[in-house]
Amino acid sequence: MISNLPNSIPISKLKNFHFGDVDGIHDQLLDHAYVFCGTSPFIQISKARKRIIIGPKGSGKTAMFRLMRDKKIPIHCDSEELRTIGIQADLNLKSLKEFVLDRINLQSKKSSLLLKYRITWEIYLMIKIFEDLSKLHIQLPEKLKHFSEKLESIFSYKNNTNILDALLNMKKTIGTKFDTSQPTVHNVYASIERGTKPEDPKAANFLIVFDDILQSINSFLNENNIALDIMIDKLDDFVIKEEYEIQKNIFQALLEVESNYYQHSNIRLFLFIREDLFNRLNLDEYGSDKVFAKKINITWSLDDISQLIAKRISYNYFSAFNLSKIIVEFETKSLYIDKRQNEYIEESEENKNKNRFSRILSHLFSKEATNQVKRRTVSLSEEMSWDIIESLLPNKVFHLDQNSKAILIPLKEFIKTHLSCADNALNPRLVISFFNAVFEFILEYYEKNHDIKNIKKVDGKFPILDPKSFIEIYQKFKSDTFQIYLKQLGDWQYLIHTFHEKKGKRYSFLYKDLISLLEIDRKKEDDFKRFLAIVNHVGFLSCDNLNKTFEARKYTLPILFR
CA distance 132 to 125: 11
What integer is the mean pLDDT of 257-285?
A: 85
Residue 231 in 3-state DSSP? strand
Using only the alpha carbons of the chain, give its radius of gyration.
27
Instruction: Note the pLDDT of residue 159.
Output: 55
Q: Which residues contact 151 (CB under 8 A, 6 or more apart)?
A: 126, 127, 130, 157, 206
Q: Which residues pair with 332 in a beta bridge?
A: none
Q: Given a cut of 60, is residue 465 above it in pLDDT?
A: yes
Per-residue model confidence as pLDDT tens digits over 409-436:
999 999 998 998 766 678 888 999 999 9
CA distance 76 to 49: 9
Q: Which residues pair with 297 in a beta bridge?
A: 54
CA distance 367 to 370: 9
DSSP character at residue 2: B
Q: Given a cut of 70, is residue 181 above it in pLDDT?
A: no
Q: Which of 10-14, 140-144, 468-472, 522-526 has the lowest mean pLDDT?
A: 522-526
CA distance 72 to 342: 10
Instruction: Note the pLDDT of residue 113.
Output: 82
pTM (two decimals): 0.81
Cβ 360 vs Cβ 41: under 8 Å: no
Q: Given a cut of 80, is residue 202 above it in pLDDT?
A: no
Cβ 193 vs Cβ 103: under 8 Å: yes
**CA 105-111-115 angle, 5° bins:** 80
82: left (phi over 0), alpha (psi -120 to 50) or beta: beta
What integer is the mean pLDDT of 508-519?
A: 90
Cβ 438 vs Cβ 474: under 8 Å: no
Cβ 390 vs Cβ 511: under 8 Å: no
The mean predicted confidence, pLDDT, of the chain is 79
Q: Given a cut of 50, is residue 62 above it in pLDDT?
A: yes
DSSP, residue by residue, 280-345: TS--TTT-HHHHHHHEEE----HHHHHHHHHHHHHHHHHHHHT-SEEEEEETTEEEEEETTSSSEE
Instruction: Note the pLDDT of residue 238.
Output: 53
Q: Which residues contact 467 (CB under 8 A, 6 or more apart)?
A: 394, 396, 397, 398, 408
What integer is the mean pLDDT of 116-136?
A: 89
Cβ 507 vs Cβ 542: under 8 Å: no
What integer is the mean pLDDT of 102-131?
A: 81
CA distance 408 to 470: 10
Closest to 229 in 3D by CA, of 367, 59, 82, 375: 82
Per-residue model confidence as pLDDT tens digits over 338-389:
555 444 333 333 333 333 332 322 222 222 333 333 333 334 577 788 889 9
> E strand or H helix at 16, and its extent?
none
Biggest distance spanned by C-alpha atoms of the chain:
81
CA distance 150 to 148: 5
DSSP character at residue 197: S
DSSP character at residue 348: E
What integer is the mean pLDDT of 77-103?
A: 80
Q: Given a cut of 90, is residue 220 above it in pLDDT?
A: yes
User: Buried b / exposed e across 400-430, counting CB within 10 Å, b at 16+?
Assistant: eeeeeeeeebebbebbbebbbbbbebbbbbb
CA distance 145 to 238: 40
DSSP character at residue 257: H
Q: Given a cut of 70, is residue 128 above it in pLDDT?
A: yes
Closest to 8 in 3D by CA, of 444, 320, 360: 320
Q: Given a cut of 60, is residue 309 above it in pLDDT?
A: yes
Tell me the residue length of the chain: 562
Per-residue model confidence as pLDDT tens digits over 278-296:
877 777 766 677 788 888 8
CA distance 12 to 446: 10
Q: Which residues pair with 268 in a beta bridge?
A: 229
Q: Which of 115-124, 130-139, 176-185 has the lowest mean pLDDT?
A: 176-185
Q: What angle separates helix 382-389 from helix 302-321, to the nearest 10 degrees? A: 50
Q: Which residues contact 322 (CB under 8 A, 6 or more apart)?
A: none
Q: Which residues pair with 272 in a beta bridge?
A: 53
In terms of pLDDT, which residue wins out, 253 or 106? Answer: 253
- Architecture of the 489-561 domain: Orthogonal Bundle (1.10)
CA distance 545 to 27: 35
**CA 145-151-155 angle, 5° bins:** 150
Q: Which of 237-251, 510-524, 538-552 has the lowest mean pLDDT?
A: 237-251
CA distances from 80 to 60, 76, 133, 221 (A): 28, 11, 16, 11
How many CA atoms lie less than 13 Å away from 102 in the CB half-sphere? Answer: 11
Residue 240 in 3-state DSSP? coil
Q: Which amino acid is at 533?
A: A
Closest to 186 in 3D by CA, of 254, 249, 106, 265: 106
Tell me phi and psi for residue 361, to 5 degrees: -100, -30
How many CA atoms lie less than 13 Å away from 560 in the CB half-sphere? Answer: 28
Q: Where are the domains of the chain?
A: 1-39+302-336+380-466, 40-299, 489-561
Closest to 19 in 3D by CA, of 32, 10, 28: 28
CA distance 23 to 28: 10
